[in-house]
Structure 1
Amino acid sequence: MAGSLPQAAVFPLALPSVSTFAFPKAARLTKTDEFSSVFALRPRKRSPHFVLYVRANGRAEARLGVVVGKKFAPRAAERNLVKRMARELFRQRQDQLGGRDVLLRLQTKFPRAEFTSRAAVRHACLTEISSLLEVAARPLPPQPPPSPSASPEQPKGLPT
């Protein structure tokens, strides 16, 4: 074809790769055991709608888990909105959160009387999740030392 343009002329600039802004599997809590080990801890911080759990993970990268149940967000669009916002805010702060597992859980509904539009829900999510992730970036409290194992002494009350 003499009249066709070369490929470089049609697309002169390369578009940025989608993977640049992706949420890779290495940055996610995926297994039930991973979620359970973080849930076993005391909540680090609560906001009006969310609970934050944070734990050291012994890795270089941070990982995120988001729990949004149907009980508190009955519509799939609302659940997806909350998860998308949490992942994007986490992605922006991921370098500050290195070495931690961060778990966000929606704990109360967004009442329709207060949150009449998606923009209102989006704004509430933005402010609450941002403030919770700032708390997650703070230094973690020292972990208690493991309990001492049974001493080699003879237990009391047993004959010698």
Structure 2
Amino acid sequence: MTSYTFTRELRLLTPAQFQAVFTNPVKASSAEITLLATPNTQEHPRVGLTVPKKQVKRAHDRNRVKRVIRESFRMHQHDLPSLDIVVLVRKGVMDLENPELHKLVDKLWRKLSRRFNG
């Protein structure tokens, strides 16, 4: 049975892991969110989130955005190739309701998968 957990192994944790993605990324973006990705040596994708205070002022709003993105990743992790992915959030994300945000992130996962799978 397929596991849909979001364990520590599925996260980018250290600054070095984030920096590796920023060096030579493949991008998938919209007006509100940008995904940067590079292949990794793991058997699974990993994700790191950046939701800056400058873009999303209130903590509960930042937490909401991160929660929706994490949930979307959790459900799509088996469809993604072995990538290290950094999610960058921009100011317009606050105008999106949860279902719209979820749909947007799902679309970006698919776009990123197509770029790596051909």
Q: TM-score, normalised by structure 2?
A: 0.86
Higher relative contact order (CA 8 A, sep 6+): 2
Q: Does 1:27 align with 2:10?
A: yes
Which of 89, 105, 110 is the aligned partner of 1:134?
A: 110
Gaps of 5+ in 2: none
Q: How many residues align?
A: 116
CA RMSD of aligned residues (A): 2.1
Could you tell me the percent identity over the aligned residues?
A: 26
- Looking at CA atoms only, which structure, 1 or 2, has the larger radius of gyration? 1
Distance 1:92 1:79 in 2: 20
Q: Is the 8 A contact 2:93 2:101 kept in 1?
A: no
SS in 1 for 2:78: helix
Considering fraction of residues, name the structure with more strand. 2
Distance 1:23 1:43 in 2: 23
The code of the aligned residue for 2:111 comes to V
Distance 2:36 2:109 in 1: 10
Considering fraction of residues, name the structure with more helix. 2
Q: CA offset at residue 123 of structure 1? A: 2.9
Distance 2:86 2:77 in 1: 13
Q: TM-score, normalised by structure 1?
A: 0.65
Q: Who is 1:94 aligned against?
A: 77
Residues 1-150 of structure 1 mapped to structure 2, 5 A cutoff: 22-110=5-93, 115=95, 120-140=96-116
Q: Is the 8 A contact 1:54 1:103 kept in 2?
A: yes
Q: CA offset at residue 43 of structure 1? A: 4.9
